[in-house]
Amino acid sequence: MRRGKGRGHYELFLPYPRVTLSVVRTAGMTAAQVRSIGVEYVCATVKGHATTLASVVFDHCAGLSFIADGDPFPQHAAIVGWAEVEAQARSYAARMADVSELVEY
């Protein structure tokens, strides 16, 4: 996290070591609701989350797309296409991080 800047670090937006980036569709959710998903599905001691708009991916990250699969929870989605943009992955992750909003618990 980039606490002093109020946004997430680019590494939060990289899928490695996986091929997809697991995300939560947070529109309409409170920070407490997002935190409860983090506690249940990520880590009991989750310290925060970083959000960014889906439009950043759609408009600025050619080759990436979303699959809203609802598994293991209804708001789950995955950002896919990273294998096709491997050389650009860090740049795309940095773009997402630059416009993200960090919420600390």
Predicted confidence (pLDDT) per residue in 8-36, tens digit: 999 999 998 889 999 999 999 999 999 99
The residues, any chain, with a CB within 8 Å of residue 93's CB and separated by 6 or more, are 10, 11, 12, 13, 14
Per the prediction, the chain carries an average pLDDT of 92
What pLDDT score was predicted for residue 2? 52
For residue 60, what pLDDT band results from cuts at 50, 70 and 90? very high
Bridge partners of 2, per DSSP, are 7
Cis peptide before 15 (omega within 30 of 0): no
Distance CA 65, CA 97 (A): 17
